[in-house]
Structure 1
Amino acid sequence: MKKKIRAPMVPRTAQETTRHGIMALLGEGPVSAKDISVALHLAEKEVCSHLEHIRRSLHASGGVLEIVPAECRSCGFVFAKRERLTPPGRCPVCRSEAINDPLFSLRGAQGNPPD
């Protein structure tokens, strides 16, 4: 996967929440939870819980959190039916742990980001 060259991260203002920062990154295009955790200096587990809340909030406002499912690098298995936002640990087909992380982006977001 190619790395995107991004502008340096500007520190958040006092009024900008963590979820506002995540929503801004999601609006730029597909990003993984790992990319978000690095950009916003958060733990990856914390990012996944925020993404779950954002998904529920977007659903209420008519927006959608689009998810490109994780994929096994060894056999090509795609985790299409997976509902959890955390990356899988192992492929159920070949048992490989070499898995591409799921990617997240926004579609149809209306109004302000959730608090």
Structure 2
Amino acid sequence: MSILLSVLAALAEIAGCFSFWAWLRLGKSALWLVPGVFSLVLFAWLLTRIDADFAGRAYAAYGGVYIATSLVWLWAVEGVRPDRWDGLGGALCLLGAAVILFAPRQA
């Protein structure tokens, strides 16, 4: 469930930030900010649903998922296919996120 929540949070954060990008960098209407702000609030709420004992650990693990999801966004929304270095970097980040989130820890 933590992985699904992380992916959903990443999509919400990327969509929210992209709305600001579209407004400021692509010349879109300021109305793009309305769903963007909603999306960023959804992101924050989803991030709190991740099953982790400490916020910092949840955020650190989420970072790897965010990076990989950003590369999917690059391809699916912006039409730029990630190259092998993007793929390798994304895979390393996911491996790091898995170590942080799923490592056995003393209670």
Is the TM-score greater than 0.5? no
The structure with the greater share of residues assigned to helix is 2
The structure with the greater share of residues assigned to strand is 1
TM-score (norm 1): 0.29
TM-score (norm 2): 0.31
